[in-house]
Amino acid sequence: MAHKDHADVYRVVHDLFSKIPFNQLLGLEIEDMSDEHARLRFAMRDDLVGNYTRNILHGGVISATLDVTSGLMAFVGVAKRIRSGSLAEKMERFSRLGTIDMRVDYLRPGAGEYFVASARVIRSGNRIAVIYAELHNDSDELVASSTCTYLVG
Q: Are 78 and 152 in contact (CB under 8 A)?
A: yes
Would you say 27 or 82 has its CB closer to a copy of itself?
27
Q: Is 11 or 108 the residue whose CB approaches a copy of itself more closely?
A: 108
Q: How many whole angstroms separate alpha carbon 44 and alpha carbon 58?
A: 10
Decide if residue 55 touches a copy of itself (CB under 8 A): no
The amino acid occupying position 34 is S
Contact between 67 and a copy of itself (CB under 8 A)? yes
Give the up-direction half-sphere exposure of residue 58: CA atoms within 13 A in the CB hemisphere: 11
Site string for a copy of itself, 21-40 (x = CB under 8 A): xx-xxx--------------
> Which amino acid, residue 97?
L
Adjacent-strand bridge partners of 37: 120
The SS3 call for residue 139 is: coil
The answer to whether residue 114 forms part of the interface with a copy of itself (CB under 8 A) is no
Query: How many residues bind to a copy of itself according to rule CB under 8 A?
Result: 45
Q: Identify the CA nearest to 31 among candidates 150, 121, 114.
A: 114
Among 101, 113, 139, 140, interactor with a copy of itself by CB under 8 A: 101
Q: Which residues bind a copy of itself (CB under 8 A)?
A: 20-22, 24-26, 46-50, 53-54, 58-61, 63-65, 67-68, 71, 95, 98-108, 122-123, 127-128, 130, 142, 145, 147, 149, 151
